[in-house]
Amino acid sequence: MISRKITLIATLALIGIALCASLRGQQAQKPLTNLDVIKMVKGGLPESVVVSTIQSRPAKFDTSPDGLIALRKAGVTPGEMDAIMAASGKGPSSSSGNAAAPSATASADAVTKSHRPTVMLVQNGASQPIPLEKTQLAQTKTKPTSMKSLAGAQGLQAGIGTGTMGAAGHTNSAMGGTAIQEGGSVLSGIMGNRKPTVTYVWGVTNPASSTVLQTDLPKFQVDFSRAMRVNPDDYEPAIVKLTPAQNTCRIVGATQGKEDLTSSPAADWEVYSHFLEERVAVQPKKLGPGKYEISPGAELEPGEYAVVLRPVSKTKKFSGGDVMRAQGDGLLFDAVWTFQVPDSAE
């Protein structure tokens, strides 16, 4: 009997020690602050990761007007702001009664999807949506003298991720950080010997597009009229020829800039002022702000192509952080709708 009591007491003592250790661990987890969120955003983490972290951790946010303004200036997205307000008990996620309130992530997804730009292929009196993809941004020390030189640049890797918006090939995927499968970069990361100026390369994963046309003179309907945080009149659609690189990816274009540009929230990067790409002559027809019909001026040769959105003014300034995270103006510049013109196209 005595030995049983001793065993019971020892067991209870061990349980108590374990509980105390668990409580100490919880207490040691510091609450998230505005500065923590800004660090995650500037670190290039996807919106889905930032929102999930906000929702799963204790928080002590500054939701004063000055605090919220500082967050927006740092590049925090509307979805991340909703999550912060919800965690502070001031957002739409907090509700009373039995009705279940939508999560901040779900709300952000719904809004983002309704505002995403679209491209439709028009043929035989019918319209077919083309999947929206996000270019992968990487750095290399190779100067952007030609697309061919970039295609042979050191650092090109096989086995990279899908890089598409949402599930690959599904045109109803939402546009935004929560739907982006980050995968790997088209090119490897920063080179060993870092220099003040590097070449930024935009590429799209996989060696060929899943959208194969049957015509070499296609017509497209482009709509980016509801894109968030942008002026649609600042952009126009274009068609560019893609350059295959080592059978792993296709290069869209490139430019040079300071190596820390993508971590800056300031809108001071003239991305398109000296941008290298192979644009195709097109016949654009503007239907309204952010709405166009475009088609190439002549039959396209067999190869890989993409519909892209480009600033009307080459001196338009972008935030490097927005370009890196594909949000705002950066979202439009990073978006591509790829297609393939086969030898059999007529």
Residue 158 · residue 186 · CB < 8 Å? no
Q: Say if 99 falls within a structural domain.
A: no
Asked if 172 and 41 sit in the same domain, the reply is no
Q: Is the pLDDT of residue 37 over 60?
A: yes
Asked if 183 and 272 sit in the same domain, the reply is yes
Q: Who contacts 248 (Cβ-Cβ below 8 Å, separation ≥6)?
A: 156, 157, 158, 159, 160, 186, 205, 206, 207
Model confidence pLDDT, tens digit, residues 226-239: 988 899 999 999 99
The confidence score (pLDDT) of residue 168 equals 31
Asked if 34 and 133 sit in the same domain, the reply is no
The confidence score (pLDDT) of residue 94 equals 38
Q: Say if 2 falls within a structural domain.
A: no
What is the C-alpha to C-alpha distance for residues 294 and 292, in angstroms, rounded to an integer? 6
> Cα angle at 211 between 161 and 159, to 5 degrees?
20
- Name the band, by pLDDT with cuts 50, 70 and 90, for residue 143: confident
Q: Is the pLDDT of residue 225 over 80?
A: yes
State whether residue 52 is helix, strand or coil: helix
Q: Say if 71 falls within a structural domain.
A: yes
For the ranges 62-71, 112-121, 242-251, 309-318, the lowest mean pLDDT is seen at 112-121
Asked if 121 and 261 sit in the same domain, the reply is yes
Q: Say if 1 falls within a structural domain.
A: no
Q: Which residue has the tokens 């979805």?
A: 79
Asked if 79 and 178 sit in the same domain, the reply is no
- The full DSSP string for 216-267 is SS-EEEEE-TT-TTS-GGGEEEEEEE-EEETTTEEEEEEEEEETTGGG--SE
Q: Is the pLDDT of residue 218 over 90?
A: yes
Most confident of 75-89, 126-140, 288-302: 288-302
Q: Say if 4 falls within a structural domain.
A: no
Beta strand 197-205 with 219-223 is unpaired
Q: Say if 18 falls within a structural domain.
A: yes
Q: Is the pLDDT of residue 190 over 50?
A: no
Residue 105 · residue 71 · CB < 8 Å? no
Rg (C-alpha) for the chain, rounded Å, is: 24
Q: Is the pLDDT of residue 121 over 80?
A: yes
The confidence score (pLDDT) of residue 50 equals 85
Q: Is the pLDDT of residue 139 over 80?
A: yes
Asked if 55 and 166 sit in the same domain, the reply is no
What is the C-alpha to C-alpha distance for residues 124 and 279, in angstroms, rounded to an integer? 26
The confidence score (pLDDT) of residue 2 equals 54
Q: CA 285 from chain center: how many Å?
A: 28
Whole-Å CA distances, 207 to 47, 304, 311: 27, 9, 27
| Count of domains for the chain | 2
Q: Say if 346 falls within a structural domain.
A: no
Asked if 301 and 175 sit in the same domain, the reply is yes
The confidence score (pLDDT) of residue 196 equals 75
Q: What is the mean pLDDT of residues 140-153?
A: 84
Asked if 123 and 270 sit in the same domain, the reply is yes
Q: Is the pLDDT of residue 93 over 60?
A: no
Residue (of 179, 145, 325, 337) closest to 250 by Cα position: 337
- Which residues is 203 bridged to in the sheet? 136, 251
- The full DSSP string for 175-222 is PSGGGB-----SB-SS-SS--SEEEEEEEEESSS-S-B-S-SS-EEEE
Looking at the chain, list the stretches that DSSP marks H as alpha helix, in order from N- to C-terminal side.
2-28, 34-42, 47-56, 65-73, 78-87, 104-115, 147-151, 320-325, 329-334
| Token pair for 289 | 């702000």
Whole-Å CA distances, 57 to 88, 241, 304: 12, 46, 45
The confidence score (pLDDT) of residue 29 equals 65
For the ranges 19-33, 111-125, 167-181, 205-219, the lowest mean pLDDT is seen at 167-181
Asked if 154 and 81 sit in the same domain, the reply is no
Q: What is the mean pLDDT of residues 156-176?
A: 34
Asked if 60 and 179 sit in the same domain, the reply is no
The confidence score (pLDDT) of residue 140 equals 86
Asked if 236 and 329 sit in the same domain, the reply is yes
Q: Is the pLDDT of residue 96 over 60?
A: no
Residue 203 · residue 187 · CB < 8 Å? yes
Asked if 30 and 133 sit in the same domain, the reply is no
The confidence score (pLDDT) of residue 324 equals 86
What is the C-alpha to C-alpha distance for residues 160 and 207, in angstroms, rounded to an integer? 11
Q: CA 103 from chain center: how many Å?
A: 21
Model confidence pLDDT, tens digit, residues 241-289: 999 987 788 999 999 998 888 888 889 999 999 999 999 999 889 999 9
More confident residue, 191 or 143: 143
More confident residue, 143 or 338: 338
More confident residue, 138 or 292: 292
Q: Is the pLDDT of residue 320 over 60?
A: yes
What is the C-alpha to C-alpha distance for residues 20 and 108, in angstroms, rounded to an integer? 39
Q: Say if 282 falls within a structural domain.
A: yes
The confidence score (pLDDT) of residue 209 equals 94
Domain holding 319, by residue range, is 116-341
More confident residue, 265 or 97: 265
Q: Is the pLDDT of residue 63 over 70?
A: yes
